[in-house]
Amino acid sequence: MSFTVLNPALPLGSHIVVLHMVCCLFKVLIKDRSSAKKVLIVYAHQSSGSFNAAAKTAAVEVLKSQGCTVEVSDLYAMNFKATATAEDIKGDIKEAENFSYLKETRLAWEEGRLSDDITKEQTKLTEADLVIFQFPMYWFSVPGILKGWFDRVLTSGFAFSLEKLYSQGVFKDKKAMLSFTTGSLESMFSPTGVNGDMNVTLWPLQNGILHYCGFQVLAPQIFWAPSCASPEARQCMLEGWRTRLQGLLEEKPLSFVPLDCFDKKGFQLKPDVHEKHAGKEFGLTVGVHLGRKLPLHNQMKAGC
Amino acid sequence: MSFTVLNPALPLGSHIVVLHMVCCLFKVLIKDRSSAKKVLIVYAHQSSGSFNAAAKTAAVEVLKSQGCTVEVSDLYAMNFKATATAEDIKGDIKEAENFSYLKETRLAWEEGRLSDDITKEQTKLTEADLVIFQFPMYWFSVPGILKGWFDRVLTSGFAFSLEKLYSQGVFKDKKAMLSFTTGSLESMFSPTGVNGDMNVTLWPLQNGILHYCGFQVLAPQIFWAPSCASPEARQCMLEGWRTRLQGLLEEKPLSFVPLDCFDKKGFQLKPDVHEKHAGKEFGLTVGVHLGRKLPLHNQMKAGC
């Protein structure tokens, strides 16, 4: 489309109409830009030649092509500090002899005295609509450098409080997801496999960190043992990820139990909720299982 | 007991008999000393005034009083590096462009080229009969500095291999346990609590790290929300720990499924084991639950 804004062959009124149309189009473009989704990728692999790097690059490319703004926190390249220490706080420590990281960082956050590297990550998080954590699974969990990111960036007050937890959490309007590679085959992470059910292994990460802060948690993207796969199979995994990324922002999240189903004192399931589920075969989630069978795929697929 | 080794009123033969008795006693004492248990405490709290510090000190005192040799790795005091990087390897990286921490550190371990801080921790681990991990639970898991210890010290080859896993693992003659504080109340970590069943949260740590390397895993010592408790209640928790420590070395470990119950190809439960448990109400462990109810207290109490 092209506009001839000033054509001497047209009367002045026509010029005004055309200018108005141009202004309207600019407004639409500006609005589109401001409502474009912002994505933060927290990436934890040492090598740019790795499968994790390729998965990260695929996410950047596909999401950008959809008009998203994508920011990457490349933790190893940033030499991100993974230990929660008093150095994370500027100025005085209130109780140096009985140092509590939780309490001191909460106070520092309230007073704008957190270290610059933490504040920078918190700003990125505040701006993001979707956060993707891309990492190789180390020891049934995230690598130490990413655990350090969770420990240090998700400060009390900033990311959660006693009043703002889970479905009523600080980040309840944001989405987050884990995207990771395993060393083990898929069969090993089943309810009859030697490593046990992957749904169990994911609970502390997806419920205990992401959903605890309110995030709507999208199903994890699991790349099963790419180091044991052929180059073609690895390529196929990446293609699957690219396809998924195209619809990622419209995906429904995993199911958790809403916070108002628990009482405010001991955070126990309210009797009426319990009664409503009496006699059912399956529990509500992997963790809130009520002594029943775990709901199938609860931490792996939306709506389970 | 006292010996009068040289009494001129006794004949020479009596002296020889007494000397022989003294030598035998020395031998017994020396043997006792060499068979005394060695304990490694991997401790991750920033403050010497913390409840975790008190729990660590209690363990050192009680175990030493029982004749154990106790070594403490005080991770924050050591400024322990928590990130898995190429700096952990002395000399050349074999595949710098496609760096694999797992493969490169395995090779470095085989060739004695791991960094000194890792080697030092590995030596402590090799010598230990029992390892106690003392930490405050951060985000349903260990703090980043302790995750870094697991990531870096439990090197492939040193701590596990495809042939040496789980009940046939490298450390199958050693014991290990988690001892930790929570921020949440016990009620929140139940199968009807907002955080979900603590047995689920413990699975990745106790099965995925400790038992994966072969450790016999002792029941965890959980100090529920000491920061919310009165000084008297905290004191009571520590007394309970001191009492437990006196019998700790004789405790039976948690139950896991022996490795030979799984086939060698996909590490799936063998059909005969599956059949043997057909029709039963509960699964075998929290992770290997066979689609059934989780066995109660499986990750919290021995023999469950």
Q: How many CB pairs under 8 A join A and B?
A: 260
Query: A97-115: per-residue pLDDT in tens?
Result: 899 999 999 999 999 999 9
Residue of B144, B259, B266 with shortest CB distance to A83: B144
pLDDT of residue B230 exceeding 80: yes
Which of 188-227 (B) contact A at CB < 8 A?
A: 188, 190-197, 200-201, 203-205, 207-209, 212, 227
pLDDT of residue B17: 56
Query: B214-227: per-residue pLDDT in tens?
Result: 999 999 999 999 99
Cβ <8 Å between A193 and B262: yes
pLDDT of residue B28 exceeding 70: no
Non-local (6+) Cβ contacts of B299 within 8 A are B198, B199, B200, B202, B203, B206, B207, B220, B254, B285, B286
Cβ <8 Å between B191 and A290: yes
Which of 78-137 (B) contact A at CB < 8 A?
A: 80, 82-86, 97-102
Q: Which residues from B are below 8 Å from A47, CB to CB? A: 97-100
Cβ <8 Å between B83 and A144: yes
Cβ <8 Å between B102 and A183: yes
Task: Give the minimum alpha-carbon distance from B28 to chain A in angstroms, rounded to a whole number.
Answer: 43
DSSP structure string for chain B: -------TTS-HHHHHHHHHHHHHHHHHHHHHHHHS-EEEEEE--S-TTSHHHHHHHHHHHHHHHTT-EEEEEETTTTT---S--GGGB-S--TTGGG--HHHHHHHHHHTT-B-HHHHHHHHHHHH-SEEEEEEE-BTTB--HHHHHHHHHHS-BTTTB-SSS-GGGSTTTT-EEEEEEE-SS-GGGGSTTBTT--HHHHHHHHIIIIIGGGTPEEPPPEEE--GGGS-HHHHHHHHHHHHHHHHHGGGPPPPP---GGGB-TTT-BBPHHHHHHTTT-SB-SSSSS-TTSBPPTTTTTSTT-
pLDDT of residue B51 exceeding 70: yes
Tally of CB atoms within 10 A around B86: 15
Q: Which of B195, B213, B259 would best serve as a mutation to test chain A binding (most A beta carbons within 10 A)?
A: B195
Non-local (6+) Cβ contacts of B156 within 8 A are B102, B103, B105, B106, B109
pLDDT under 50: residue ranges of chain A: 1-6, 8, 27-28, 30-34
pLDDT of residue B228 exceeding 90: yes
pLDDT of residue B235: 98
Report which residue type is found at B147. K
The ipTM of this complex is 0.90
Residue B126 vs residues B118, B174, B245: alpha-carbon distances, Å: 12, 9, 22
Q: Give the Cα separation of A129 and A126 in Å (integer).
A: 8
Query: B138-196: per-residue pLDDT in tens?
Result: 999 999 999 999 999 999 999 999 999 999 999 999 999 999 999 999 999 999 999 99
What letter does residue A121 receive in the DSSP assignment? H
B18 pLDDT band, cuts 50/70/90, is low
Q: Give the Cα separation of A276 and A279 in Å (integer).
A: 9
pLDDT of residue B14: 58
pLDDT of residue A150: 98
pLDDT of residue B1: 35
Residue of B151, B166, B192 with shortest CB distance to A288: B192
B198-205 vs A198-205: helix axis angle to the nearest 10? 100
Q: Give the Cα separation of A202 and B61 in Å (integer).
A: 37
Q: Which residues from B are below 8 Å from A207, CB to CB? A: 140, 195-196
Query: B237-271: per-residue pLDDT in tens?
Result: 999 999 999 999 999 999 999 999 999 988 999 99
Are A63 and A70 spatial neighbours (Cβ–Cβ below 8 Å)?
yes
Residue of B139, B148, B286 with shortest CB distance to A150: B139
Cβ <8 Å between A140 and B207: yes
Which of 32-61 (A) contact B at CB < 8 A?
A: 46-47, 49-50
Cβ <8 Å between A291 and B138: no
pLDDT of residue B54: 98
In 3D space, the residue among B163, B168, B167, B169 whose CA is nearest the CA of residue B264 turns out to be B163
